[in-house]
Amino acid sequence: MTSHVFQSTVTKPKAIAKDGKGVFMTIEKNGKEHKQVLDAITGAAVGSLGWGDPDVHKIMADAALQHTYSFPGNIVNEAAEELSRFYIDNSPKGAFRSCLWTCSGSESNENALKIVRQYQLERGKPEKLKIISREGAYHGFTLGAMSIGDGPRGIPFKDIMIDQEHVCLKMPMFYPYRRMKEGETVEQYAQRLVDSLERIVVENDPNTVSMVCVETMSGTSIGTPVPPKNYLKGIRDICNKYDMIFMVDEVMCGTGRVNDGKLCCWENFLAPEDAPDIQTVGKTLGSGYVTIAGVLVGPKIYDAFEKGSGLIVGAQTYHSHEFNCRVALKIQQKIFSQGLTSNVFKMGNIMGKRLQNELLPDPNNIVGDVRGLGGFWTLELVKNKTTKEPFDKSLHVGARFAESALHHGVNVMGLTGGNTKGEHWDIVVLGPAFIIREQEIQLLCSKLKETVEDVTKTLQDEGLR
């Protein structure tokens, strides 16, 4: 059978999500139907409420009955206003003043770049043009988002991306497992990275640097390393020192996935007065039921627009779409009323601790690291646990792990990541639904351990480790 969906493997049949209930789903792949698959990644860490939620069915039906489309360049809607107030009110006081609702994380990051550019123009500082982001980063698949990223997916499009030598600059990535020096603490390592950022700013003339952009916790790029508190604080201080915007991308790690009872992941690491100037969000915002993401605008940027033109020219057709915003608001209200961000924080940490205890001490398996926080964790797979040598990237060990996990009844995201310098690594990313219970966590950990054992044996039998 030939696929008519132009994505992934273009001509080959693709895995199909058939249905789901709670944290379980049915996946059809290569003619076989896998039932009661425990969904440990919810697509791409999207599904906060899991699948088949009866309340969401009613929420969507009611929203459809109330829906009237309006073009955002001319007319806004109450649902967009209400969702904005909800996010602002449930973030640290004074962190954000306004919100833009988009349809994807890539789109949010693309719009954030334009907002920051206009911010500099509103202030009469057109020379502040340069953007500093991290090596190995992933911020989306549109041209602007790829330009501030640094993965192999962007290499074929480099010639049509924003200038990678003079505009989109890269600072070292935060990757303790592979980049910390022997005898160095994680705080010392973080300070070394902060110092390197300042050198890059100074070398490129601070008067021409507009912003620094990082993911609070990286996701599918390098797999959920947890920063010490001096890392983001150090970046914030440098942005203040050199009059630069501090942007965080929380499309994957934010909106409750990594916060015990709240929304923003950065609250684990920063005080309210050190909040980012602009932040992108998405994924769990609509729990996979609607296509929604967003840009949260802080007072510094908002004030420049207010004192300047007060105008954003143009809009995208489905920005702040009434139906999407109304559904997302009700989903977030349900999550808060049931304390589900606290639940996934607790359950995720139970999962991570058990995986660390059971997988890391074994010198013979392929799990070199288990890292994460709350509802966002990663296994890093290595050929040699002592030297941290990765598998040859042509083996696609991450994808092979995901295939094996499916046969064990678990859906994970396994992939081979890398940067534009030729480095690569194999990771398995976990991001379960916020509703997951402890018995399901224990089942998940057992199935992942079985998968590790099977993949390890298979690679040994093939003489690949």
12 vs 363: CA distance, rounded Å: 38
In this structure, are residues 45 and 257 in contact, taking their beta carbons and an 8 Å threshold? Answer: yes
pLDDT at 116 exceeding the cut of 70: yes
Q: Which domain holds residue 444?
A: 16-52+339-461
Residues 87 and 113 in one domain: yes
317 and 428 co-located in one domain: no
Residue 273 is assigned to a structural domain of this protein: yes
H or E stretch at 132: strand 130-134
| Residues 333, 348 share a domain | no
- Output phi, psi for 231, to 5 deg: -75, -65
Amino acid occupying residue 445: C
CATH number of residue 269's parent domain: 3.40.640.10
Which of helix, strand or coil describes residue 430?
strand
Among the three residues 301, 320, 337, which one is the final residue of a domain in this structure?
Answer: 337
Cβ contact 278:111 at 8 Å: no
DSSP secondary structure, 146-182, as one string:
HHT--SGGGGGGGGGSS-TTTTEEEE----HHHHPPT
DSSP code string of 291-317? --EEEEE-HHHHHHHHHTT-------T
364 & 328 share domain: no
Each residue's pLDDT tens digit, 282-339:
999 999 999 999 999 999 999 999 999 999 987 899 999 999 999 999 999 999 999 9
Residue that terminates a domain, selected from 309, 337, 365: 337
Same domain, 43 and 102: no
Say if residue 298 is in the same domain as residue 397: no
Q: Do 131 and 230 reside in the same domain of the chain?
A: yes
Do both 344 and 406 map to the same domain? Answer: yes
pTM greater than 0.85 (yes/no): yes
Q: 349 in a domain, yes or no?
A: yes
Give the total number of structural domains in the chain.
2
What three-state secondary structure class fits 289?
coil
Is the model's pLDDT at 1 over the cut of 80? no
- pLDDT of 147 higher than 80: yes
The rounded mean pLDDT for the chain is 96
Residues 434, 289 share a domain: no
The three-class DSSP label of residue 360 is coil
User: Do the Cβ atoms of 126 and 163 come closer than 8 Å?
Assistant: no
Place of tokens 């018995």: 439
Q: Are residues 40 and 94 in the same domain?
A: no
Which of 319, 337, 355 represents a domain boundary (last residue)? 337
Q: Note whether 351 and 345 are within 8 A (CB).
A: no
Element (H, E) at 448: helix 438-461
Is there a domain that residue 393 lies in?
A: yes
- Look-up of token digits 């920051």: 116
